[in-house]
Amino acid sequence: MGIGSWLVKHSKVRPERLALVYHDRRFTYSELNERVNQLAHGLLSLGVRKGDRVDALLLNTNEMVEAMFACAKIGAIFVPINFRLSVDEVLYIVNDSRAYHFIYDVRMKPLVDQLRTKESSVQTYIHVGSNPHKEDTVYEELVVNSSKSEPQFEVPFDGVHMMMYTSGTTGRPKGAMLTHGNTQWNAINSIHSTPFDNNDITLSVAPLFHIGGMSVFTTPLMYKGGTIILDDVFDPVRIMQKIHEERITCLFLVPAMWQALMTVPNFEDYNISSLRFAVSGGAPCPITVIEFFQRRDIPFYEGFGLTETAPFVSILDKENTIRKNGSVGKEPMHTTVRIVDPNDRDVPPNFVGELIVKGPNVMAGYWNKPEETKEAIKNGWFYTGDLAKFDDEGFIYIVDRKKDMIITGGENVYPIEIEQVLYRHENIAEVAIIGFPDEKWGESIKAIIALKDKSKTLTVQEVEGFLDGKIARFKIPKQVEVVEALPRNATGKILKTVLRQKTKV
């Protein structure tokens, strides 16, 4: 009774309901279930067996969703890979996951051609699109030439169905093993905490190789029986057009994407009245973004999660996104959150500790890394590495990552606090606060800023004047650097490790 059973049920109960749209391809739940069955049988014919890892270098296409569910139906483990990685980074994941089968999109051919020259575990390449290598298996031929019957496999609820590699910003990425139960309980939490309806239509444009794109809206809405519109290119104007044309009712984007939508020319000319609610996640969302959409009567939620928690940890509801700005809300029904000191004792409200999470959405562990798993999961609690606090009303505030905290003159400084204030500056588009070595204070504070109007500049004195009276003096940056854009990973998170390395140089 794994997640493959969702499609079986929907194909019986609502067979003609539109399930998946990718460009001009539109599939009902009945059609999608048949294609998934065909792919599952095709993979079996190629030698894929229960527990095998099937790696995939795919964009947000119907093949990405089909491959995940096909693996789920036969007990295999789907491993979506970030297509923005270098060949050596992809090679590491392939060999770490020990995958024999590799599905890739024709647009990834240059990278895969490089991968072929390396020594890897891959034995069979499955090619999506035209112009395949002669020795490759053609994805669509594999589908159309296979049986539409239901694969007869016992798939345990606690069996791993997907492995997502963490971003690896602090070292080699680790494969988080997510079970069928993790994904289903995440869907239940999502449906319980947001106004999902099986008539909802979402646009999945955040990359599906990341847990945010895959499981904030995509898998929960498929569990519910709604419609997923897929797009593999983020273009703000195109997104606005899609909302209008497809009558999108709910939308998840990372903050950088929401900010990009705000800059669309003639924004008010687009009819986005179909949007019932919106969710931001992946990084702290500037209050200016939330206010922009709330003014247009779009209820705005802000979520917090991690790959290892499939991802739902907490959500700030629409009633509190302004009143409790900076908070990530409260835990969902089936997940428990604590904030503890180094001795695992709960800290009082307004005191900072480490956020730990327990629930049926917590991963089974890190693939082939027992020591890292033991360090991360203790007595069922996942230790996130995030510093957080509760306020007097029980709302959670992520103060920062442990590694991002700055200690200057003996004072703990949390970059998020400074960043949120700076986002209110009229000419700041992006900002990252980092620490740099200081002989006197241990560390000093630096602001790295990208401007909206790049013809202007921003000095330390101007930043100091803007922050004066808004935060404590010791939190005001001693250095300011203006850049064209901040480096981000595929999920929209600013790569502070890259910025710190450049600062050291």
Write out the H or E segment, with its range, that includes residue 60: none
Query: Average pLDDT of 26-54?
Result: 98
How long a stretch of residues is the chain?
505
For residue 453, give Cα distances in angstroms to 235, 267, 458.
Answer: 21, 19, 11
Q: Give the tokens for residue 113.
A: 């051609």
What is the model's pLDDT at position 382? 97
What is the model's pLDDT at position 402? 64
What is the model's pLDDT at position 505? 43
Spatial CA neighbour of 287 closest among 325, 260, 259, 317: 325
pLDDT bin (cut points 50, 70, 90) of residue 60 is: very high
Residue 326 contacts residue 420 (beta carbons within 8 Å): yes
Lowest mean pLDDT among 44-58, 219-233, 321-335: 321-335
Residue whose entry in the numeric block shows the structure tokens 């030698």: 47
Return the sign of the alpha-carbon dihedral for residues 144, 146, 151, 155. negative
How far is it, in rounded angstroms, from Cα 237 to Cα 292? 17
Q: Decide which of 410 and 187 is more confident.
A: 187
pLDDT bin (cut points 50, 70, 90) of residue 484 is: very high
The alpha carbons of the chain give a radius of gyration, in whole angstroms, of: 23
For residue 440, give Cα distances in angstroms to 65, 190, 404, 443.
Answer: 54, 48, 20, 8
* Angle, alpha carbons 204-206-207 (nearest 5°): 105
**Percent residues over pLDDT 70 in the chain:** 97
How far is it, in rounded angstroms, from Cα 163 to Cα 79? 5
Q: At what angle do helices 4-13 and 29-45 cross, to 10 degrees?
A: 140
**Does the pLDDT of residue 154 top 80, yes or no?**
yes
Spatial CA neighbour of 443 closest among 421, 414, 467, 482: 414
Spatial CA neighbour of 463 closest among 425, 417, 501, 412: 425
pLDDT bin (cut points 50, 70, 90) of residue 322 is: confident
SS (H, E, C) 427-456: CEEEEEEEEEEECCCEEEEEEEEEECCCCC
Spatial CA neighbour of 490 closest among 129, 123, 207: 207
* DSSP-based three-state secondary structure for 386: strand
Residue 57's Cα: distance from chain center in Å? 16
Domains of the chain, start order: 31-155 (3.40.50.980), 185-401 (3.40.50.12780), 405-504 (3.30.300.30)
* DSSP-based three-state secondary structure for 150: coil
Lowest mean pLDDT among 130-144, 172-186, 407-421: 407-421
How far is it, in rounded angstroms, from Cα 225 to Cα 17? 8
Omega within 30 of 0 (cis) for the link into 299:
no
Q: What is the DSSP string of 179-206?
A: EHHHHHHHHHHHHHHS---TT-EEEE-S
**Does the pLDDT of residue 363 top 60, yes or no?**
yes
Q: Is residue 171 exposed (0-12), middle (13-18) or buried (19+ Cβ within 10 Å)?
A: exposed
488 secondary structure, DSSP code:
B
Select, from the ranges 30-39, 254-263, 462-471, the one with the highest average predicted confidence (pLDDT).
Answer: 30-39
How far is it, in rounded angstroms, from Cα 433 to Cα 450? 12
What is the model's pLDDT at position 170? 46
Q: What is the mean pLDDT of the chain?
A: 92
Residue whose entry in the numeric block shows the structure tokens 């997104």: 239
Q: Decide which of 410 and 356 is more confident.
A: 356
What is the model's pLDDT at position 288? 86
- Is 0.75 surpassed by the pTM of this model? yes
pLDDT bin (cut points 50, 70, 90) of residue 443 is: confident
**Does the pLDDT of residue 169 top 50, yes or no?**
no
Report the side by side order of strands in the sheet with 53-57: 137-138, 124-128, 101-105, 53-57, 77-80, 160-165, 175-179, 365-366
pLDDT bin (cut points 50, 70, 90) of residue 490 is: low
Beta strand pairing call for 77-80 and 124-128 = unpaired
